[in-house]
Amino acid sequence: MSEQYVKYLIVGGGISGLCAALALAPDALILEKEQEPGGYCRSIRQDGFLWDYAGHFYHFRTEPARQFFLSQFKIGELAQKEKHCQILYKGARIDYPFQSHIHQLEKSELIDCLYDLFHRPVKAQCGSFLELLESSYGHAITDKFLRPYNEKLYACGLNTLDPAAMGRFFPAADLTEIIDSMKGSSDKSYNCRFLYPRDGSGALIEALCRKLPPDSLLTGREIIAVDADRNTALDSQGDRYRYEVLVNTSPLRQFLALLEDPSLEQKAKELSANKVLVLNLGFQCKAPDREIHWLYVPGAEANYYRVGFYDNVLGGNHASLYVEIGFPENARIDPQRELEHSLRALRAQKLIQEDNPLLSNCALVMDPAYVHLRPGTKELVDALKATLAGMDIYSIGRYGGWRYCSMEDCMLEAFALAEKLKGRCRR
């Protein structure tokens, strides 16, 4: 057992933690509970296949974040792609986004969608995410795609989620765009173009770690207790750390339990999320579709809500897939059963040939995966973060901040916090 002083103690070595540490170097120390950093942004090499923990493709709204990302790689180390994704709907392919391509539906379904779109129950204030969908797009578009897809993803009823559950990622309804798209297909979604490291998302983590000062990242070190009154933290190896500021990037509800404050623990129970089982699959032959990057699957005929094709991004002679399956947070997951179900569905939907054998696979559970923003959740999280800030603790990132956000958002939030902390020290 030992005790050491560190100015900035960072809990979690994912994107948020690594960016914060780089910006606060050399005064920061990261403690990561896993044996390697990266969080869900890690990559796996197995039997000649390259997979990520989940499908991570990089797209940027801001030039500073884009330039920071690009600076981590050499020329030729990134694949740049125009996104090609579709929706599997009743055995047919519909271009994404669904609401802009309803003209690809059967005539009767198109009429249903147009009728409900123009007679949608517009509400100035919606009480749930489901109401927002229906108010924006009408019942038909909602019931055909938006509701079943998102219920598979979140593994809960959309009537339980806040209207702002998806924040800026929710596509605002544009009737002119929907009508105009009938004369020419287009995708103006936020991620219509993307970048991807040729060595997988883990290459970004490796690049960031190479820039850290020596001994500023400790793996296999899980924080098991935090004494906010004394500004100390205890790790799973029995070592103690005295800090001036603690930056948490681990899931907020688990972190709150470390403070041993009954009132905070009780509030943490109000936070919920789903789990996602990611099945990474490697097949002997290429899949029939050599162009598609990923597919959205709203129907109940498949257990997955999304399936992606790494080989169509990076190239290769073998089909390299991932499928994502959503579960409630208390669900017991049987990866083998889900694998068998997924293989049947992939072949029934003709995404993989019947005679194309599975050579390798890897199952991973993301827990938490997508946080549930219910009515009042944002206000609760804001209050919790304000309470923590009063203890010299800042909780950031997708899970530390308990929000729906991108990796770009995580990077920018980490850099902004670092500037704030360094500015505080200068005063």
CATH number at residue 297: 3.90.660.10
Whether cis (ω within 30° of 0) applies to the bond prior to 375 is no
Domain count along the chain:
3
The answer to whether residues 244 and 104 belong to one domain is: no
Return the minimum-mean-pLDDT range out of 9-13, 177-181, 215-219: 177-181
pLDDT at residue number 360 = 98
SS3 (DSSP) at 234: strand
Question: pLDDT tens across 39-50, in order?
Answer: 999 999 999 999
pLDDT at 403: 95
* Separation between Cα atoms, residue 358 and residue 378, nearest integer Å: 43
Do 296 and 178 sit in the same domain of this protein? no
Please say which residue of 154, 188, 222 terminates a domain.
188
| pLDDT surpasses 60 at 427 | no
For tokens 């799973």, name the residue. 236
Determine the pLDDT at residue 96. Answer: 93
User: pLDDT per residue over 186-213, tens digit each?
Assistant: 555 556 789 999 999 999 999 999 999 9
**Residue 241, Ramachandran bin (φ over 0: left; ψ between -120 and 50: alpha; else beta):** beta
Let me know whether 259 and 389 are in one domain: yes
Asked, for residue 193, whether it belongs to a domain, the answer is no
- Tally helices (H) and strands (E) across the chain: 14, 20
Tokens 């005679």 belong to: 355
Range of the domain at 359: 273-371
- Tell me which of 182-196, 249-263, 349-363, 411-425 is least confident: 182-196
Q: Average pLDDT, stretch 396-409?
A: 95
CB 279 within 8 A of CB 363: yes
If asked whether residues 216 and 339 sit together in one domain, one would say no
pLDDT of res. 184:
67
For residue 174, the model assigns a pLDDT of 74
Tell me what pLDDT residue 247 has. Answer: 98
**Are the C-beta atoms of residues 267 and 32 closer than 8 Å to each other?**
no
Q: What pLDDT score was predicted for residue 186?
A: 56
The Cα 427–Cα 421 span in angstroms is 10
Token readout for 249 is: 């990037």
Instruction: For the chain, give the percent of residues with pLDDT over 70.
Output: 97
Q: Is residue 90 part of a domain?
A: no
Q: Is the pLDDT of residue 304 over 60?
A: yes
Tell me how many degrees the CA angle 426-225-366 measures, rounded to the nearest 5: 95
pLDDT at 425: 62
What pLDDT is recorded for position 47? 97
Dihedral (C-alpha) 413, 219, 365, 49: value to the nearest 10 degrees?
A: 100
Together in a domain, 38 and 177: no
Model confidence at 172, in pLDDT bands (50, 70, 90)? confident
Residues 401, 260 within the same domain: yes
Single out the residue in 162, 188, 214 at which a domain terminates.
Answer: 188
CB of 56 within 8 A of CB of 407? Answer: yes
Q: What's the pLDDT at 143? A: 98
Average pLDDT over residues 285-311: 97
- Based on the fold, state whether residues 216 and 161 are members of the same structural domain: no
Quick one: CA dihedral 258, 262, 264, 270, positive or negative? positive
CATH number at residue 387: 3.50.50.60
Q: What is the pLDDT of residue 52?
A: 95
Lowest pLDDT segment from 72-81, 185-194, 253-262: 185-194
pLDDT exceeds 70 at position 350: yes
- 41 within domain boundaries: yes
Residues 309, 333: one domain? Answer: yes
The residue-averaged pLDDT of 378-383 equals 97
What is the overall mean pLDDT for the chain?
94
Q: Encode pLDDT of 124-153 as tens digits.
A: 999 999 999 999 999 999 999 999 999 999
pLDDT by residue (tens digit) across 23-42? 999 999 999 999 999 999 99
- Judgement on whether residues 180 and 323 belong to the same structural domain of the protein: no
Q: Can you give the pLDDT at residue 1?
A: 78
Indicate whether 166 and 103 sit together in one domain.
yes
Q: Can you say how many angstroms the Cα of residue 126 is from the centroid of all Cα atoms in its chain?
A: 25
Distances (CA, A) of 128 to 160, 166, 378: 6, 12, 14
pTM, two decimal places: 0.94
412 backbone dihedrals φ, ψ, rounded to 5°: -65, -40
260 and 405 housed in the same domain: yes
Taking residues 46-74, what's their average pLDDT? 93
Residue 418 in domain? yes
Any domain includes 377: yes
For residue 75, being part of any structural domain is answered with no
82: in domain:
no
Q: Say whether pLDDT at 60 is over 70.
A: yes
Residue 193: per-residue pLDDT: 87
Residue 43 and residue 199 in contact, taking contact as beta carbons nearer than 8 Å: yes
CA 348 to chain centroid:
28
Q: Residue 101 is part of a domain; what is its CATH number?
A: 1.10.3110
Does one domain contain both 167 and 149? yes
Last residue within a domain, chosen from 329, 356, 371:
371
Flag whether 325 is in a domain.
Answer: yes
